């Protein structure tokens, strides 16, 4: 495998100008994440609809899963837009993943609708080839191996499985907000603002910062000793409702979340992150 395929959601809904700007920041955050984790890569590209990282280090998946803006990621192999090459790579991947009695499925997505075969046709042609070569069993509803194929404008990629991301938009596209860190709920409020593209300026309990840093590559969290030391912030963020303070907007990102949703995010921050120092 030689590529990490990165899919995004909300970024793709923006105007062409905004999308280009956001993609630039998104790619910088991805690069910073890879470098921070010691992941070697040769390039980061943005063909229409995807971000592609050229690397043979599968650890890149785990490093990138916390980058906001990502809807899902896969570790795959780049091949030419040639159905024979796609078939051969799918067969190689099946052999690598298969165990006795394993069933498989081919799932194709064409980002380039000018490719001569439709997605169902690619599924049928590639699936038939794997069956012929390996006498493999097909299960379209609950396969043990789901071989994905994505056909882009200049290449195709073959992969198995997707790791979901946290969605949102890239950190750095929405300016700075001030967050007072105290308890774990305040860290959840900070996480929610990172997910909405904000840079963090924080005060209070500095021991919580390392738990938020894995979600903030590209824009390091700034610590200030008191709220009065914060400069150029667009809003103050609270984990629970309080009377309006100051002359700038007050945000309450947890008001629309259930207790279970808050607990799930708290668990992700404090138990699901890695390399906490």
Domain edges within the chain: 3-79, 83-154, 176-271
Rounded to whole angstroms, how far apart are CA atoms 215 and 246? 28
Q: Which fold has domain 176-271?
A: Rossmann fold (3.40.50)
d(CA 28, CA 7): 15
Neighbours of 202 (CB within 10 A): 24
Nearest to 143 by CA among 113, 106, 93, 174: 106
pTM equals 0.90
Count CB-CB contacts under 10 A for residue 267.
11
For residue 15, the Cα-to-chain-centroid distance in whole angstroms is 21
- For 161, residues 6+ apart whose C-beta sits below 8 A from its C-beta are 74, 146, 148
With contact defined as beta carbons under 8 Å apart, do 239 and 179 qualify?
Answer: no
CATH superfamily of the domain spanning 3-79: THUMP domain-like (3.30.70.1510)
What element of type H or E holds 30?
helix 16-36
CATH class as words, domain 83-154: alpha beta
Per-residue pLDDT tens digits of the chain, which is 277 residues long: 899 999 999 999 999 999 999 999 999 999 999 999 999 999 999 988 899 999 999 998 988 999 999 999 999 999 999 999 999 999 999 999 999 889 999 999 999 999 999 999 999 999 999 999 999 999 999 999 999 999 999 999 999 999 999 999 999 999 999 999 999 999 999 999 999 999 999 999 999 999 999 999 999 999 999 998 999 999 999 998 777 666 889 999 999 999 999 999 999 999 975 432 2
Q: Is 145 exposed, middle or buried (0-12, 13-18, 19+ CB in 10 A)?
A: buried
Q: Which helix (H) or strand (E) holds 128?
A: helix 119-134
Q: Residue 154 and residue 152: Cα distance in Å, rounded? A: 6
């Amino acid at each position: 495998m030689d590529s990490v395929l990165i899919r995004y959601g909300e970024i793709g809904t923006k105007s062409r100008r905004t999308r280009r700007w956001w993609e630039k920041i998104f790619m910088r955050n991805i690069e910073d994440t890879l470098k921070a984790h010691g992941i070697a890569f040769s390039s980061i590209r943005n063909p229409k609809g995807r971000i592609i990282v050229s690397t043979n280090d599968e650890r890149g998946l785990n490093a990138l899963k916390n980058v906001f803006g990502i809807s899902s990621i896969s570790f795959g192999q780049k091949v030419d837009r040639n159905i024979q090459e796609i078939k051969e790579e799918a067969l190689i991947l099946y052999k690598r993943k298969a165990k006795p009695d394993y069933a498989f499925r081919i799932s194709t997505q064409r980002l380039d609708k000018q490719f001569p075969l439709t997605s169902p046709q690619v599924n049928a042609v590639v699936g038939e080839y794997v069956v012929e070569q390996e006498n493999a069993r097909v299960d379209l509803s609950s396969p043990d191996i789901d071989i994905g194929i994505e056909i882009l404008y200049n290449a195709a990629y073959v992969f198995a499985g997707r790791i979901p991301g946290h969605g949102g938009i890239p950190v750095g596209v929405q300016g700075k907000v001030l967050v007072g860190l105290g308890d774990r709920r305040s860290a959840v409020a900070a996480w929610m603002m990172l997910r909405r593209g904000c840079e963090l300026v924080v005060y209070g309990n500095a021991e919580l910062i390392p738990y938020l840093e894995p979600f903030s590559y590209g824009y390091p969290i700034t610590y200030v000793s008191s709220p009065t030391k914060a400069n150029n912030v667009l809003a103050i963020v609270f984990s629970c409702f309080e009377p309006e303070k100051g002359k700038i907007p007050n945000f309450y990102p947890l008001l629309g979340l259930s207790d279970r949703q808050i607990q799930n995010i708290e668990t992700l921050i404090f138990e699901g992150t890695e390399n906490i120092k």
